[in-house]
Structure 1
Amino acid sequence: WNWMGSSLCAGAAIVCFDGFAAYPKLSSPWDLVERERVTHLGSSPRYFQACRARVRPMRDNDLSALRVIFSTGSPLAPEDFEYVYSKVKSDVMLASISGGTDICSCFALGNPMLPVRQGELQAFGLGLDACALDRETSAAVTGSKAELVCRSPFVAAPVCFFGDDEKKSKYRGAYFEENDGVWYHGDLVELTGSVGSSGGIVIHGRSDTTLKPGGVRIGTAEVYRFAETVEAVEDSLVIGDQIKVGKRAGDVRIVLFVKLAAGVTLNAELEAEIRSAVREGASDAHVPALIRQVQMIPLHALWQEGRACSARPLCGYRAQKRRRANGSDGIRRVPPYCRGRPLIMCIAPL
């Protein structure tokens, strides 16, 4: 809401799709983009993934007004880039962005001055001393997975949490883990160096859900990305389950939960196909030790999987409550006097 509110100051009008993005049909958001002549669209990888198989906006909709597509909520896979440019619009700027409501901005985002590269966020944000920091050496690194941090104070940083104690214990515990004045945002990233120390950036997932089976550090996104290339897999969730007994006690095994297409049941043949897809796309270290079929993957408000909260009860911790999505048609119509202005659209299932 803070981004959208500030866009009014630029003379833009706002279109909100408030509700389940696939209601009443999966193409509803694209129909709204066409009808209201939206210029900037905010969406998520999960929506693109749902659209890949059967929604073709390039063929079925007039998206001539659309100039920029923003994507956030989880890492945008190379397949999502391919879908947007081949099935949505070939000359749109696809900006994968990553930040947070807490900072009212982005640490990494799109830049209209730079080329769009498949699988990458284009650059770090202006005015942010952000980098990929190696925890062991405390040095900024390129070409390897590390923590997304900001090493200097920045204008958009919150200064406290409401209801915190005088020492700001919750606030400091959330962001300043090492007590060294460095903001740890909780993302596992890789700086590719395609535009030097400014970018591009690959997000591998949340660092608090990072898996280390056999000491190999991997992000959950690296597993589900390839698991979901299997046609029968509609959705998936990956957790790390700590082994408590035996020779590997203390190590982590990868557990993959899959939601399969209607009428499909997980069997040995399908398990082998999933493991093969993960092994060929990533590595042996990424292959799940266990694969289990589930009826639904838990999501929260932005269509992100509830990986961290789902892992808690499975690993012996108390579960956290989450709101679930509703299926209401929450389209709020644009007043006639707003038409003709730049239109910012946000798809935000609640």
Structure 2
Amino acid sequence: MNKFSNRKKNSLPKLLWQPSQETIEKSSIVSFINYINKSFPNTSLINSNDLYEWSIDKPELFWSSIWQFTGVKPRYFGKSILEKKSKMIESQWFKDAKLNFAENLLKDKNKSHAIIFLGENNVKWKLTRTDLYKAVSRTKQALEKAGLKKGDRIVAYMPNCPDTIILMLAATSVGAIWSSCSPDFGEKAILERFGQLTPKILVAVEGYQYNGKKYNLLEKISIITKQIPSLRKVIISCLTNDNPEISSIPNSILLRDFIKKFQAHDIKFHRFPFDHPLYIVFSSGTTGKPKCIVHGAGGTLLQHLKEHQLHTNLKSGDRLLYFTTCGWMMWNWMVSALASGATLMLYDGSPFHPTATRLLDYVDNERITVFGTSAKYLDSLKKAKLKPKNTHQLLSLKTILSTGSPLSPETFEYVYSDIKKDIQLASIAGGTDIISCFVAGDPTLPVYSGEIQRRAFGMAVEVTGEAGTPVVEQKGELTCVQPFPSMPIYFWNDRENKKYQSSYFKKYRNKWCHGDYMLLTDRGTAIIFGRSDTVLNPGGVRIGTAEIYREVEALEEIDEAIAVGQKARNDTRIILFVKMRKNIPLTLDIINKVKIRLKNHASPRHVPEIILMTPEIPRTKSGKIVEKVVANIINGDDVGNTDSLENPESLKHFKNRPELKKYS
């Protein structure tokens, strides 16, 4: 164990929530355990920890049972469950199975709500499951008439609204491959992504609203269209303007005109192989052109069904709000909840406009049961000193999900003290690479401050230490040592799997290395300390950046921070940049306060040598701060591709800082 860690072995952090016996007994985990015990007479699982061990010992039985328990269509998956098990990158799941992803999300046709949409401008839109089915039917026919077929790429420059989901389901129902980015991406970032895919169809929104301001995208769409010669059709969805002028966009048509000739009828779903490509998602692209990661329909569906029904306890009739954009994999994750009978509660716009409680107002007004968001959002509520427990009822809310970055113990405790006491707070972590989670929630287990509840079922997660062997109660690399269904089927334009191999299997032979710096406790919970490629190493001591952020950002004067290492003299020193709360200067007293807190709450090694103020911190489109880019700037290294950043102009605040020039 790192001798400078502030965590004592076997010490229990603060217990924040304990599920009632009734909650446990009514959970889908217990139902699944009973199903397993009944299906396999020699099996006698008692609790979720037993289930996890069984899922790792018998992965073929586990994943085939998930298929049956969650009601995947068709019921029959063939004889082969897992082939080439001994080599992860070559493993193949359910070789004999055929399915249609869209069919599984549209299997219930009834009058219950499938989608409820709220825009920042208060535009509301509700679709029943019957409405959704009919809309997909009409759109599918129109896409087929336009020449879209199996294997074609359809790309979307769209907000988080019903049209996007309808178009995705229609496209994937015919076996086309879907890829999406949110409308806040600039044209260069879009071209770097979509331009690699030679898409046949582009769907785009004419404009959107964010933080009270409307943005017209027609000029960007025109530029993008003219630089992707493979496009045969550009379909324009209307969100802020019902009658946009689109004559400057080649081969363009309004969505309503595109589908108006077609009547809804029963959809004939053609079923494709389990590994048929479904989505292409993108790496952040901060080190070059974004990698295009291809995910299969079957693996995506199975993983999401497992995570929704077991880890999130999502059931038919639940209402799921995940605050996300179409440029983040959580959009893909969220949409799959239709297959579990949940209602998708969509929101598009700023979560803080016109007030900081906009999303919690939505939870109350629409009786939302599961609310997913980012750690940064919850921290922002805490920093604003909001106490929703005093202003909102939140009676329907049973679960809060948090991801995107590590959730600090202080923010864990804020949720229970100031939002709602009786609630499951599930910090979850995985990534675009697997379109799912390695570590997740568990409604049958307690919640401890600062800890993720468990390793996800069916995911053979280990922490690999510096000696290359598994460790417990020590920090190391998050690794996975067995195949799982939602591994990428391949990278686009990577014929020999060289990029794929290099991305996950370069460090350890036949062991997926995810790039997160993590600790597994002896109780099976997990703590993530940040990305392993941004781990600080002063004096040879490895420190995860999240260890610094959780202490620094607990101070009310500081909004957020970014810590990087400056290399010289055969060592590294920690440089901390802080963004202050509004109108608060960075004084010597505050600098000393930061240093004392880090020394007392973490260790002397965590104390930065220099603390500087910055008005802005660079982040990706999905909201993750980019330590590596800032480190490259202050070390004089190549910064790489900045077009993928939400705010590339912020980098100027880290260049040519005189305080950093004397270190050599």
Q: TM-score range by the shorter chain?
A: 0.7 to 0.9
Deviation for aligned residue 1:155: 0.9
Q: 1:280-321: CA deviations, max 9, x gaps?
A: 110000000111101111222333222222222222223231
Q: Is the 8 Å Cα contact of residues 402 and 428 (structure 2) preserved in structure 1?
A: yes
Tell me how far apart the structure 1 counterparts of residues 350 and 597 of structure 2 sit (CA, whole Å): 30
Counterpart in the other structure of 1:308:
628
Tell me how far apart the structure 2 counterparts of residues 124 and 284 of structure 1 sit (CA, whole Å): 31
Q: 1:25-55: CA deviations, max 9, x gaps?
A: 2111111111111111111111111111422
Deviation for aligned residue 1:122: 0.8
- SS of the residue corresponding to residue 139 of structure 1 reads coil
The structure that is helix-richer by fraction is 2
Deviation for aligned residue 1:261: 2.2
1:158 aligns with 2:480: no
1:167 aligns with 2:491: no
Deviation for aligned residue 1:104: 1.8
Counterpart in the other structure of 1:216:
541
Give the alignment of 1:166-185 within 5 angstroms: 166-178=495-507, 180-185=509-514
Deviation for aligned residue 1:252: 1.0
Counterpart in the other structure of 2:613:
293
Match of 1:80 among 391, 411, 421: 411
Match of 1:60 among 388, 391, 413: 391
Cα distance 1:305–1:20, how it changes in 2: closer, same or farther (>3 A)? farther
Tell me how far apart the structure 2 counterparts of residues 48 and 201 of structure 1 sit (CA, whole Å): 20
Deviation for aligned residue 1:274: 1.1
Tell me how far apart the structure 1 counterparts of residues 450 and 430 of structure 2 sit (CA, whole Å): 17
Cα distance 1:103–1:317, how it changes in 2: closer, same or farther (>3 A)? same
Tell me how far apart the structure 1 counterparts of residues 509 and 394 of structure 2 sit (CA, whole Å): 48
Give the alignment of 1:240-319 within 5 angstroms: 240-243=565-568, 249-319=569-639
Q: Which 5+ residue runs of structure 2 have no aligned equivalent? A: 1-330, 648-664
Give the alignment of 1:41-190 within 5 angstroms: 41-52=371-382, 53-136=384-467, 138-164=468-494, 166-178=495-507, 180-190=509-519
Q: 1:174-233: CA deviations, max 9, x gaps?
A: 111225110000000001112xxxx20011111011011000111001112111222221
Tell me how far apart the structure 1 counterparts of residues 352 and 646 of structure 2 sit (CA, whole Å): 15
RMSD, aligned α-carbons: 1.5
- SS of the residue corresponding to residue 439 of structure 2 reads strand
Q: Is the 8 Å Cα contact of residues 22 and 28 (structure 1) preserved in structure 2?
A: yes
Tell me how far apart the structure 2 counterparts of residues 306 and 115 of structure 1 sit (CA, whole Å): 32
Consecutive aligned runs of 4 or more in structure 1 exceeding 6 Å deviation: none
**What is the letter of the counterpart of residue 89 of structure 1?**
K
Q: Is the 8 Å Cα contact of residues 356 and 381 (structure 2) preserved in structure 1?
A: yes
Q: Is the 8 Å Cα contact of residues 46 and 304 (structure 1) preserved in structure 2?
A: no
Paired residues, what number? 314
Work out the percentage of aligned pairs sharing the same amino acid.
39
- SS of the residue corresponding to residue 140 of structure 1 reads coil
Q: Is the 8 Å Cα contact of residues 134 and 140 (structure 1) preserved in structure 2?
A: yes
Bigger CA drift: 303-312 or 80-89?
303-312
Counterpart in the other structure of 2:129:
none
**What is the letter of the counterpart of residue 19 of structure 1?**
G
Bigger CA drift: 97-106 or 226-235?
226-235
Counterpart in the other structure of 1:8:
338
Q: Is the 8 Å Cα contact of residues 410 and 554 (structure 2) preserved in structure 1?
A: no
Bigger CA drift: 53-62 or 27-36?
53-62
TM-score by length of structure 2 reads: 0.46
**What is the letter of the counterpart of residue 503 of structure 2?**
A
Counterpart in the other structure of 1:192:
521
Q: 1:83-122: CA deviations, max 9, x gaps?
A: 1111111111000000012212110010112111111111
Tell me how far apart the structure 2 counterparts of residues 235 and 179 of structure 1 sit (CA, whole Å): 34
Larger RCO: 1 or 2 (CA < 8 Å, sep 6+): 1
- SS of the residue corresponding to residue 46 of structure 1 reads helix
